[in-house]
Chains A and B, each alone.
Chain A
Amino acid sequence: MELLEIKNLTKSFDNKNILEDINLKISSGKIIGLLGKNGAGKTTLIKLINDLLTKTEGEILIKGKNIGVESKKVISYLPERTYLNKQMKVSEVIDYFKDFYDNFDADKARKLLKDLGLDVNQKISKMSKGMQEKVGLVLVMSRNADLYILDEPLGGVDPATRDYILDTILSNFNENASVIISTHLISDIERILDEVIFIDKGKIILQSDADKLRKKEKLSIDEIFRRMFKCS
């Protein structure tokens, strides 16, 4: 059974198709790059998988089941924006995650926060955007989930921290889990990708093994992306 299976998925806003007839299968144990230009439909697809948008047509299955309470137990999602209650302290957010997610490892979260030099007693509202994003990533990666979905996880952090984050992603998900990373910063994540999905104008135009694609095109994923999506 596939970890994630999407069948004929369409999402429309005001009679305009934002996503059109998406078909996708993702198995366990892979790091997948969801790559596309701004407005290509990456975030819309991710939001649909996470029950933040209602689909117009089609089906999304997580381990063979529709999106619901059970799928939310196994998906760990990092949105593109800071989403934590700003009135809370980091330690309170840790307690919050511990309360709701059985697979959340609070000790691991505290350790990762310490590594990143973040104070658990600090209020979210007193943190910079970059710090809030780091807290978000730590919380998400501290879950023992089956599917991690990271929407622009590197967007607001400095280049020095990006490597640490990528290493955190690599070292903190188990072999049976998969990670979907949506980003524009392809060169930064290229080294960790097993598979790539190119999305454009609401359609998946390519899904391939990253190494096979590199060999076939004799170019890096970043270069393939740039060539494929070159603005005329």
Chain B
Amino acid sequence: MFIKLLKYDLKYMIKNMSVFYILSLFFAITTRLLFSLNETVMIKIISQISVGCMFAMIANTLINTIMRSWIRFRDSIYKDEAYLTHTLPVTKNDIYNSKFIQTLIFFIISFVVIIISLFITYYTKERWMMLKDYIGMITTGLDFNTTIFVISFITIIFLEIFNAIQCGFLGIILGYKKNNNKIGFSVVFGFVAYLLSQSMVLLLVFIVGLFDSSIMSLFENNILLDVHSFKILVILSIVLYIFIIGLMSIICKKEFNKGVNIE
């Protein structure tokens, strides 16, 4: 049943997100083609407009992935569609897990589309070498493997935004427990959940700092981290975010399993 739920959640997202993916890629290709033409004033103007459109679509892709995930969650669990969702012979855990995985999958797809759009627009051998050299400079200084550095960096950003999305889910669940001003409470609870999750990351880093003086130096002075501490912090951030996303997921499911009150 979980797979069936996921299938319909993914279908919904495909219907709503594909337009942004297509437009992002379309403007990326258009910009690329315009860049390859002779540089007349008019071509330059059109190129700049196309670049603007491409960035607007990239921003739309990211914002819509987040917003649509929240809207889908709210609509199918608390709005009219909830009459169908909650009368399906599926567990509440399956309903939540389906939304969670759907968000995860589309967040990854959006991320890839954004990277591809930027790549199509700006890739040249020289720029690629320049970027590699630039990242190489940073990673050499930090004594980091370049590939691992890039993957870690992207993973942390990814987990950070995904955590924010899930805080939104918790906000919606708690907000809809209230009889009045559900949207207002959802926003407030979501924001509070996000602040708490960030504070928890900070607290856990502090606790690790109690056993590692180089990490503790983050809280005690403004000296840049040494190579060893930076590596620990990167690994710690990834582990802590995964832990907090897991914890938040358990809290969401626990609250959700207490039942809903559909108007």
Contacts and interface: CB of A to CB of B under 8 A. Distances in A.
Interface string B236-263: 0000000000000000000000111110
Given A69-B90, A69-B91, A51 B259 contact: yes
Contact of A72 (B12, B82, B87): B87
Given A72-B87, A72-B88, A99 B4 contact: yes
Nearest to A140: B87
A85 B260 CA distance: 19
Nearest to B177: A54
A85 B5 CA distance: 14
Interface string A59-84: 00000000011101101010101111
Nearest to A79: B83
B1 interface: yes
A38 to B, nearest CB: 15
Given A52-B260, A53-B262, A96-B8, A101 B179 contact: no
B87 A51 contact: yes
Interface residues of B, number: 23
A69 B89 contact: yes
Contact of A52 (B4, B7, B8, B83): B83
Chain A interface main SS type: loop
B86 interface: yes
Contact of A54 (B80, B83, B91, B260): B260
Contacts of A51: 86-87, 259
Contact of A14 (B12, B82, B179, B262): B179
Given A79-B83, A100-B4, A54 B88 contact: no
Interface string B70-105: 000000000011111011111100000000000000
Contact of B83 (A68, A75, A83): A83
B130 to A, nearest CB: 45
B12 A50 contact: no
Specify which of B4, B82, B89 lies most central, judged by the most chain A CB atoms within 10 Å of its CB. B89
B15 interface: yes
Contacts, number: 62
A51 B84 CA distance: 11
A100 B91 CA distance: 12
A68 B179 CA distance: 24
A108 interface: no
B1 A100 contact: yes
B260 A72 contact: no
A47 interface: yes
16 contacts: A50-B86, A51-B87, A52-B86, A53-B262, A54-B259, A69-B91, A72-B89, A75-B87, A77-B87, A79-B83, A81-B83, A83-B81, A84-B81, A87-B15, A100-B88, A100-B90
B89 A101 contact: yes
B3 to A, nearest CB: 10
Contacts of A99: 4, 7-8
B262 to A, nearest CB: 4
B131 to A, nearest CB: 41
Contacts of B87: 50-52, 72, 75, 77
Contacts of B258: 54
Given A52-B87, A69-B90, A82 B80 contact: yes
A7 to B, nearest CB: 18
Interface in A13-72: 13-14, 47, 50-54, 68-70, 72
